Each structure stands twice: as structure tokens, then as C-alpha cells.
Amino acid sequence: MRKFALAIHGGAGTILRSSMTAEKELAYKQALEDAIIAGESLLIKGGRSMDAVEAAIRSLENNPLFNAGKGAVFTNDGKHEMDASIMNGKDLMAGAVASVQNIKNPISLARAVMEKSEHVFMAGIGAQEFAKKINAEFMPDDYFFVQQRFDQLQEAKKEDKMILDHTVDKEKKFGTVGAVAIDQHGNLAAGTSTGGMTNKKHGRVGDTPVIGSGTYANNKTCAISCTGHGEFFLRAVVAYDISCLMEYKGLSLKKACDIVVMDKLVKIGGEGGLIALDAKGNIELPFNSEGMYRASKKEGEELFIGIYKD
């Protein structure tokens, strides 16, 4: 039996102590801890990393604090279009959905694409039809209405640009959620879920549902889930690049993460971060932004929760 380990993120960005209240900080920390517990309670019983990743992400999707599921940001035309993906490191099976609406838990729909269809990636109306067929849980528009996100859209429209999930006080924040895990059987899994970017155009898709960019898992190397400015993460093929540096260059997880997040992404202007875990259970949580909501738990060790850089 191997030791399990689990890491999650709730988005990266300009998260400053100065713009945080004690109450808000507590709420974020509690939400991160709840998500860790959702995954850990399965892993501790010998459960699979895929189930732990899905459970942790569902917990974050159900919380309006994060830009995924219930808290998904608004598109330019006032809708919510969500993206998600999940990957199993054991057999490289993967599932993803893009631009889905009214789905309560897009991560579970992504998993259903993997397990119940012959496809890997489904988008838009086709993905919605598939969701109906497998009886996925749909929610009405008002379930996804969060006043703060609506205010963000008005701000973004004023500036006439697509804005990353920031708050009204101009705090810049990418609220995407994700999880990576290794179970006691030594299998890795990764998943990511997002509403994308505030004021994004109808049909815009970022890195989150793209296997190899926003999410990747391979038992030979690592499990990765990203958060940040999707256009840059797509162009840098971030998650697979880290796996490749480990597989073909023999780099450690830490070194591979450093090169991609702190050098390659920075050089092209890609702000954000990621959570990473290797086959030995090592965890890395690198980010080149001011902060990243993050938490991790290794079997038999203390829970770690972090928000800011220091």
C-alpha cells in the first residue's frame, strides 16, 4: 500500500492581504478544507484517486466563492458557459466538456464523457444533449446568479475587455478550481473546472477542458491542474509540458514546475499557477501571481492551506 496525497486549488491571481477581510479569509479556508475532506475521506478508505478528485472538485463547484459550477462567472451576454476536464493517470483515459450551461457539476459530466461515451471531448449543445441522456443534474439560471459576479460583468463591460475573475474592488483573481491525487494503489488523477473569464465572448474556451493544457495525469510522471489566463496556458501546453520534462528529460517535479511556471509562462506573459503531484506523492503548488487559493494533505501529515505568496 502506498501513502495517499491530495492537493486542490481554488484559483490564482492578485489576491492581496490588504483587500481581504478576516471573515472572507475564513470562508475561503473553510471551503478549501471542506474540499480536502471530501477527497481525503475516500482516499483514507483505499478509494480511487479519480473519485477523490471528482469529490473535491464537486465540493468547490457547489460553493459560490469559486469560479466554477454555482459561482461561474458571466459571459458577455450574461450567461454561464462552463468548462471541465478529468484524467486518469493509470490508463490515460480522459473526459472533457466545454461551453456547457445549467449543469450543476461539470466535472461529473466530464467524467461521464470519459466513462459513458466513446469520446473524450464534447462541447456546447451536443454536450448538453449527452448530459440529458445520462440524467446529469441541471439547475435553473438563477442558481448560478451571484451578485458579485454580475457586478464584475458590469465592470468588465465598462472597460470593454475580457477580465479574469476579479472582484469589484479590482482584485484580479482566477477562481477556477482543480484537484490532483494519488491513491493507496499508486494511481494518479487530475481534474479542473471553471466558468472561464468574465465578459468572455460566447463560445470562448480556455485551457481548463483541454487535456494537456489545463489538466493532465500519467502514472509515469505526474498529475497537474492549472489556473490562470487560459489563452497563455493553451499556447504553452502547460500540463503536458511538465509531464514531458519529467518523462523525456528526467527532471524532478519541482524542477519541471519551476521551468514552466516561473520561466516559460512568465516570458510570454502568462499569469497563474498550478497544483502538481508526482508518482512518489511529492506535491508542488507553484504560481507566478500574487496568490493562489490552495490546500494539500498527505497521508499521516498535517493539512496545509495557503492563499498568499508568503
Catalytically active residues, by annotation: 176
- Compare residues 39 and 206 and give the one whose CB is closer to ligand ASP: 206
First to last CA, the chain: 34
Residue 112: CB atoms within 10 A of its CB come to 21
Q: Is the dihedral angle over the CA atoms 227, 231, 232, 233 positive or is it negative?
A: positive
**Which three three-digit cell numbers place residue 93?**
483515459
Rg (CA), the chain: 17
**Which three three-digit cell numbers place residue 48?**
480511487
Give SS3 for 75: strand
User: Using the rule CB under 6 A, which residue among 10, 11, 69, 71 binds ligand ASP?
Assistant: 11
The total number of residues written for the chain in this structure: 310
Closest CB 72 distance from ligand ASP, rounded Å: 10
User: Using the rule CB under 6 A, which residue among 109, 197, 238, 261 binds ligand ASP?
Assistant: 197
What track of x and - describes contact with ligand ASP for positions 214 through 233 (by CB under 6 A)? -------------xxxx--x
Q: How many residues in the shown chain lie near ligand ASP by CB under 6 A?
A: 17
Residues 30-69 that bind ligand ASP (CB under 6 A): 67
- Compare residues 24 and 249 and give the one whose CB is closer to ligand ASP: 24
- Residue tagged 511556471 (cell numbers): 261
Does position 191 interact with ligand ASP (CB under 6 A)? The reply is no
Closest CB 176 distance from ligand ASP, rounded Å: 3
Does position 208 interact with ligand ASP (CB under 6 A)? The reply is yes
Closest CB 175 distance from ligand ASP, rounded Å: 5
Does position 207 interact with ligand ASP (CB under 6 A)? The reply is yes
H-state helical runs in the chain: 22-43, 49-61, 106-116, 124-133, 147-159, 230-235, 238-249, 253-257, 265-268
Does position 10 interact with ligand ASP (CB under 6 A)? The reply is no
Closest CB 33 distance from ligand ASP, rounded Å: 21
Q: Residue 114 in contact with residue 95, Cβ under 8 Å? A: yes
User: Using the rule CB under 6 A, which residue among 81, 165, 278, 290 binds ligand ASP?
Assistant: 165
Closest CB 281 distance from ligand ASP, rounded Å: 25
Does position 95 interact with ligand ASP (CB under 6 A)? The reply is no
- Compare residues 229 and 298 and give the one whose CB is closer to ligand ASP: 229
**Which residue number places its CB atom closest to ligand ASP?**
230
Residues 230-249 that bind ligand ASP (CB under 6 A): 230, 233
Q: Which residues have C-beta within 8 Å of that of residue 90, sequence separation ≥ 6?
A: 187, 188, 219
What b/e string do you get for 222-246 counting C-beta neighbours within 10 Å, with b at 16 or more?
bbbbbbbbbbbbbebbbbbbbbbbb
Closest CB 81 distance from ligand ASP, rounded Å: 10
User: Using the rule CB under 6 A, which residue among 194, 215, 218, 243 binds ligand ASP?
Assistant: 194
Q: Residue 168 in contact with residue 151, Cβ under 8 Å? A: yes
Does position 99 interact with ligand ASP (CB under 6 A)? The reply is no
Does position 176 interact with ligand ASP (CB under 6 A)? The reply is yes
Nearest to 181 by CA among 89, 290, 59: 89
Rounded Cα–Cα distance for residues 186 and 2 (Å)? 6
Residues lying near ligand ASP in the complex (CB under 6 A): 11, 67, 165, 174-176, 194, 196-197, 206-208, 227-230, 233
